[in-house]
Amino acid sequence: MGKEKNKQQYVTTILNRKARHEYFILDTMVAGIELKGSEVKSVRLGRTSLNESYATVHRGEVWLENMQISAYEHNHNEQLEPKRSRKLLLKRNEIQKLQLKLQQKGLTLIPLKAFFNNRGVLKIELGLAKGKKLHDKRESIKSRDTERQLHRLKQQY
């Protein structure tokens, strides 16, 4: 009679689903993220959200704002704020290129997804984005619907 262990399901990627609907993605890049203590365990369990988060460049460093990482339930040592600012790890020349691009009107840095690489390190995919107007959003919804209908018709025949 073997004992069954309580295995927890790990999530490999966390997506920001609204990002591609709300913004035109002009360029993407991957950055590391600086986390404290039990935050990595919470991210592995999928207790995180990229919705409404964005990145800023401040004093030559890139910071991720408004990323929700819920507290790990078995951590009793330190209480971390769920939506605190987290430093993103990029090379100096990448940060300088980002600063130049962000000075253009209407561009912002949006996290598209968070994932664990082959070595088990958490990475954030950032997108240099420009906001969509209402009519652009309608066009993208319309094109997506027509693609679905075409795909369904192809499956029938």
Q: Kindly state the percentage of the chain with pLDDT values over 70.
A: 91
So what's the pLDDT on residue 8? 57
Confidence at 11, pLDDT banded by 50, 70, 90? low
Decide if pLDDT at 5 tops 90.
Answer: no
What is the pLDDT at residue 76? 63
Q: Alpha-carbon distance 84 to 39, whole Å? A: 11
- Give yes or no for a contact between 129 and 109, defined as CB atoms under 8 angstroms apart: yes
Query: What CATH class has 13-156?
Result: mainly beta
Question: What is the rounded average pLDDT for all residues in the chain?
Answer: 84
Whether pLDDT at 1 is above 50: no
CB 137 within 8 A of CB 21: yes
Mean pLDDT for 89-102 is: 90
CB-based burial of residue 88 (10 Å sphere; 0-12 exposed, 13-18 middle, 19+ buried)? buried
Flag the least confident range among 9-18, 81-90, 107-116, 117-126: 9-18
User: Each residue of 23-81: pLDDT tens digit?
Assistant: 888 999 999 999 887 788 888 888 888 888 899 898 889 999 988 887 777 766 767 77
C-beta pairs of 139-145 under 8 Å, 24+ apart in sequence: 140/21
Amino acid occupying residue 144: R
What's the pTM?
Answer: 0.75
Structure-model confidence comparison of residues 54 and 5, the more confident one: 54
Residue 123 identity (one-letter amino acid): K
